[in-house]
């Protein structure tokens, strides 16, 4: 008698199978790290809040702060401001560190634009391409699924696999309001979601 039978409806962290624009909350698994080049980095994970992929995970959106030159520091500030505005930030809000930014962002809502992109290992992943404010009319998958990849032969698996400054302050959280709990228990665009420094295994 078999130990268990695979059931796609009985899994943790449903996968998101289409590109598109999704309403998400920043997951508790998001974390501050130091990149391989020694720069501060936000590793942002997201959980879809609505639609047919509700509860699905979009992971490892790695955003690096590069202050090595004035130009790069300005680009980094623009990058993180884009995310902050999507989260509901107001002009004049400030952060002292990327670590503070991540800790305050966890649980808050925005929308992310995602598309398929090949990583350095040849596998294709959903990558965050832009940020928007949360959409009242819901998430919008666009029908574009993962490009076909060769299957592994005979093994049962496939190769695919500060003070508050944002409206109502929430105990010093700059994003205001109350964080949105994960479903299971905001449009400026730029290329993000680097594959460098993807952690091995689960962040926690």
Residue with tokens 């992310």: 112
Could you tell me the pLDDT band of residue 2, with boundaries at 50, 70 and 90?
Answer: confident
Is the Cβ–Cβ distance between 189 and 52 less than 8 Å?
A: no
Q: Where are the alpha helices (DSSP H) in 34-125?
A: 70-86, 98-105
pLDDT tens, position by position, 14-57 = 789 999 999 999 999 999 999 999 999 999 999 999 999 999 99
Tell whether the model's pLDDT for residue 176 goes beyond 90. no
Please give the DSSP secondary-structure letter assigned to residue 103: H
Is the Cβ–Cβ distance between 175 and 166 less than 8 Å?
A: yes
Q: Which of 36, 50, 57, 63 is CA-nearest to residue 131?
A: 63
pLDDT tens, position by position, 60-88 = 999 999 999 999 999 999 999 999 999 99
Q: Report CA-CA distances (Å) from 16 to 37, 47, 57, 188.
A: 30, 10, 7, 23
Q: Where are the alpha helices (DSSP H) in the chain?
A: 70-86, 98-105
């Amino acid at each position: 008698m078999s130990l268990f039978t695979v059931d796609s409806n009985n899994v943790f962290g449903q996968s998101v199978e289409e590109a598109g624009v999704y309403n998400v909350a920043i997951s508790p698994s998001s974390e501050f790290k130091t990149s391989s080049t020694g720069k501060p980095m936000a590793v942002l994970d997201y959980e879809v809040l609505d639609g047919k992929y509700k509860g699905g995970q979009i992971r490892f959106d790695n955003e690096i702060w590069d202050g090595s030159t004035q130009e790069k520091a300005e680009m980094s500030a623009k990058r993180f401001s884009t995310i902050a505005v999507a989260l509901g930030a107001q002009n004049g809000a400030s952060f002292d560190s990327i670590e503070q930014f991540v800790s305050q962002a966890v649980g808050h809502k925005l929308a992310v634009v995602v598309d398929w992109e090949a990583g350095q290992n040849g596998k294709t992943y959903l990558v965050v391409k832009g940020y928007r404010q949360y959409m009242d009319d819901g998430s919008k998958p666009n029908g574009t699924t993962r490009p076909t990849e060769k299957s592994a032969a005979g093994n049962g698996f496939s190769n695919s696999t500060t003070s508050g400054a944002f409206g109502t302050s929430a105990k010093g959280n700059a994003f205001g309001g109350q964080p949105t709990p994960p479903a299971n228990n905001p449009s400026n665009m730029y290329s993000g979601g680097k594959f460098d420094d993807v952690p091995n295994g689960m962040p926690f």
